[in-house]
Structure 1
Amino acid sequence: MSDCDSFAIGGVISYATREYFSEEQPTENLCYVTINEFFSNGYVLVLVICVSMLARAILLRLSHIMFDWYAIRVQSALQAFTYEKSLHLSTSSLSSGDMTVGQITNHMSVDATAIFWFTMYQPWLWTGPIMVVVVITLLYYEMGVSALIGAAFIPVFGVVQYKITDILARLKNLVLKTSDRRLKKINELLQGMKLLKLCGWEEVFCSSIEGVREQQVKLMMKSGAYMIVSMSTAKTLTAMVTLIVSSDILIT
């Protein structure tokens, strides 16, 4: 709908220019009004923009509420199932290292949160390509071949984003493993607190936990840096494509 609003704003500007700044006298046709003449009227286009913005706000808010509700239910169900499964784990599984407290915590917090965000934003998987096709079609209708030049940057940008996302996924996996190690060491420290006090190993365990924590923070900082690069690339692409398309229009 935002693209339709952009074209409607262009129509309003053309109508105002034609009515108030053009020296040509408009020809009046009192018999009938065609569809093109009706929608080329500036007042009609202003009404169309208002209705479009109102409908977009209502529909987007309703869709966000609906998918938020589904995502919360999915996250709560996963956390409940994980907690129930952890209660039925045998002592041998926990003591042998097949399943640690850190892994259970990651499953309940990190993994469930990831499923939450996927459930909330999964409609963009099928609405995104449709929006791209519609926008490119409208731009080609309005700007001609110059729109295809700007659309050619979309696959290039997709490859760059794929590489950055792959790096972010590997860093996220390393962060989770480091977090699991840190939680495991903290659990061992709490369970063996009497032995640590007796032998005077507090500083040794604290330095070990702090070292793992420093590794985790470094990985998180690196992941944040790649996230900044990804978001900056997305913001820069819009301005770059606009500049290239505008330059091509001025040259031709």
Structure 2
Amino acid sequence: VLHQERKPLLVSAVLKLIHDCIQFAQPVLLKVFIDSVGDAAVPLSTCVYTAFALFAASLLQVFFIERYFWLVYRIGARARAAVNAAVYRKALRIQVADSGAVLNHMSVDAEAFYTVMPYFHVIWSAPMQICICLYLLFEVLGIATLGGLAVMLLFFPSNTYVMRRYGALRKKMLGAQDTRVRYTSDALNGIRLAKSFAWESAFLDKIGASRDTELQFMRQGRYLRSIMDIGFSTLPTAVALASFSWYASSDSTLTPGIAFTALNLFNLIRFPLQMFPNNLNGVITTVVSGKRIQAFLEQPEVPAAALRSPDSTTVASIASSFSPSSSSSSSVSSSSTSSSSLGPVAIRISRGSYSWAGDSANVLHNIDFFVPRNSLVAVVGEVGAGKSSLLHAILSEMIGPQPEVSGSLSYTAQNPWIMNASVRDNIMLARPASDGNYELAVQCTELYRDLTLLSDGDRTIIGERGINLSGGQKARVALARLVYANADICLLDDPLSAVDVHVGRAIFANCIRGALRNSSRVLATHQLQFLNMCDQVYLLEAGSILESGTSA
């Protein structure tokens, strides 16, 4: 981010430097003005010119600092957007994404990059301002400035220790916050199940315990911040008191010019003394957030083949859902072509064993699997036999040999992904309008009658996660999306389990064997009554192919 914004950062640094120089010209002009007013020998024009110079310096100071803040806030906004985009892209490429961590990365951690940018240049500006102030104070107060300097030197070691403690607490607090957000997200996603089994108290206890831990770290951090704020608020007064006491004890005359100039300089030194530790806290927070984001971005990704560019061929449907065992690209829509033509074979896996990322144990063992072009292949087996895993292996979402796939892919999962939009938008998914394909998709999936019952037909907004639809309706919307995509290869993960028997029979005849007849289809199912109408059947058991052939 800093590399991309190096030119605006350099310009903002120059603006900050000019502002600081003008700022330190004011105490000098103030001393000249006071001395001129008190000296009868000085002409009135000199006082007027000095007053005008003070006014002009104030105007220029405001102009440069406003331009400076405009630049750094824009840089901060761009940095936040870049971090959010990187986290989002990474979340689409990893096998298992912790929803709580992703939300915190995109809200708390990304926000840290935005908040630190406005005072980013204080890192070098504050020490420079302190040094210039001390030099000017030496010119005004002489050796008495050492009294104030001694107070500052005694203060900084203790403040450094407090800041280190605060950084450690901040890291622990963010970890507790991740846990709390994850528990809350899980509770909201499974609220129906929690209500059905009366698990509300268990969820509340989990969330409450994580929140108590988070509050404990926040409370300790606030105590430390209060200590730092009190110290830095009283430091300028203590520095001025020490310096003036020393100056008065040396039998020197404290004139108005010296007093007002010194007070002005002490007021100027207040800002860097206060902002420098605050900025250090912001830098510490940003460093902690940056390390967390870096650790997230360094997580292993799904194989590159699962992340193919959608520009090579026609893109297929996103008809899936985000499942715990797959990456966010389980709602995969990808176009894939093997390096060599497979001829009449659409999919081929030769003796492949597959596992999920982060798990060394293979889920699929020695898989020999092929799908002839434009054929219907059924995959059956008990629950947990590996049917869904086989489809994910074809999508290159598992660790193992790269399957050979010829053509564009479309996939629909057991738990369909539904976005908060109209039925029509969910089916078309921002693809070019084609009334013929749309009508075919609605008719063959038995959605036409359901649309007539909705208040606005296919323009009805169906809510987040399809909350306004039944399970069977959501499954058919996802299946209609797959039909509308018109992909070469269709992977169907038990799409008939959520529909009635007569509806399932109609969908199998009109959709899977009808509208999709020109596509290569892989159907994972428990509906054994349809096997005699499939071209080939694979029986899975414990992640291995037990039998293959026709139902006869």
How far has the Cα of 1:74 moved from its partner?
Answer: 0.9
Structure 2 residue aligned with 1:12: 33
How far has the Cα of 1:63 moved from its partner?
Answer: 0.7
TM-score (norm 1): 0.83
What residue identity is the alignment partner of 1:13? I
Q: 1:66 aligns with which of 66, 71, 76?
A: 71
CA distance, structure 2, for counterparts of residue 136 and residue 126 of structure 1 = 16
1:232 to 2:253 alignment: no
**Is this contact kept in 2: 1:175–1:216, CA < 8 A?**
yes
CA deviations over 1:198-245 (Å, ceiling 9, x no partner): 332211221221122122223222222221221121110000000010
Structure 2 residue aligned with 1:184: 182
Alignment of 1:137-148 (within 5 A): 137-148=135-146
Structure 2 residue aligned with 1:23: none
What residue identity is the alignment partner of 2:71? M
1:221 to 2:242 alignment: no
How far has the Cα of 1:88 moved from its partner?
Answer: 2.0
Alignment of 1:233-248 (within 5 A): 233-248=231-246
What residue identity is the alignment partner of 1:188? D
What residue identity is the alignment partner of 1:223? G
1:161 to 2:159 alignment: yes
CA distance, structure 2, for counterparts of residue 52 and residue 61 of structure 1 = 14
Give unmatched runs, 5+ long, in structure 2.
Answer: 1-21, 251-552
TM-score (norm 2): 0.39
1:89 to 2:115 alignment: no
How far has the Cα of 1:126 moved from its partner?
Answer: 1.6
**Is this contact kept in 2: 1:71–1:116, CA < 8 A?**
yes
**Is this contact kept in 1: 2:151–2:238, CA < 8 A?**
no
What residue identity is the alignment partner of 2:38? T
Structure 2 residue aligned with 1:34: none
Structure 2 residue aligned with 1:124: 122
Question: How large is the RMSD of aligned CA atoms in angstroms?
Answer: 2.2
> Structure 1 stretch 105-114 or stretch 53-62: which is displaced more?
105-114
How far has the Cα of 1:173 moved from its partner?
Answer: 1.1
Percentage of identical aligned residues: 21
Question: Which structure's CA Rg is the greater one?
Answer: 2
CA distance, structure 1, for counterparts of residue 64 and residue 155 of structure 2 = 29
How far has the Cα of 1:71 moved from its partner?
Answer: 1.1
> Structure 1 stretch 197-206 or stretch 104-113: which is displaced more?
197-206
CA distance, structure 2, for counterparts of residue 3 and residue 248 of structure 1 = 24
Q: 1:42 aligns with which of 43, 47, 61?
A: 47
CA distance, structure 1, for counterparts of residue 154 and residue 109 of structure 2 = 31
How far has the Cα of 1:162 moved from its partner?
Answer: 1.4
**Is this contact kept in 2: 1:101–1:184, CA < 8 A?**
yes
How far has the Cα of 1:186 moved from its partner?
Answer: 1.8
CA distance, structure 1, for counterparts of residue 193 and residue 117 of structure 2 = 46
Q: 2:102 aligns with which of 101, 104, 108?
A: 104
**Is this contact kept in 2: 1:102–1:180, CA < 8 A?**
yes
Identify the structure with bigger relative contact order (alpha carbons < 8 Å, sequence gap 6+). Answer: 1
SS of match in other structure, 1:144: helix
Structure 1 residue aligned with 2:111: 113
CA distance, structure 2, for counterparts of residue 5 and residue 150 of structure 1 = 21
Give unmatched runs, 5+ long, in structure 1.
Answer: 20-25, 27-36, 95-99
**Is this contact kept in 2: 1:136–1:148, CA < 8 A?**
no
How far has the Cα of 1:182 moved from its partner?
Answer: 0.9
SS of match in other structure, 1:132: helix
SS of match in other structure, 1:152: helix
Q: Which has the higher helix share?
A: 1
CA deviations over 1:137-196 (Å, ceiling 9, x no partner): 111111111123312333333222211211211121121111111122123323433443
How far has the Cα of 1:53 moved from its partner?
Answer: 0.8
How far has the Cα of 1:49 moved from its partner?
Answer: 0.7
What residue identity is the alignment partner of 1:52? A
1:2 to 2:7 alignment: no
Structure 2 residue aligned with 1:29: none
Q: Which has the higher strand share?
A: 2
Q: 1:202 aligns with which of 200, 203, 210?
A: 200
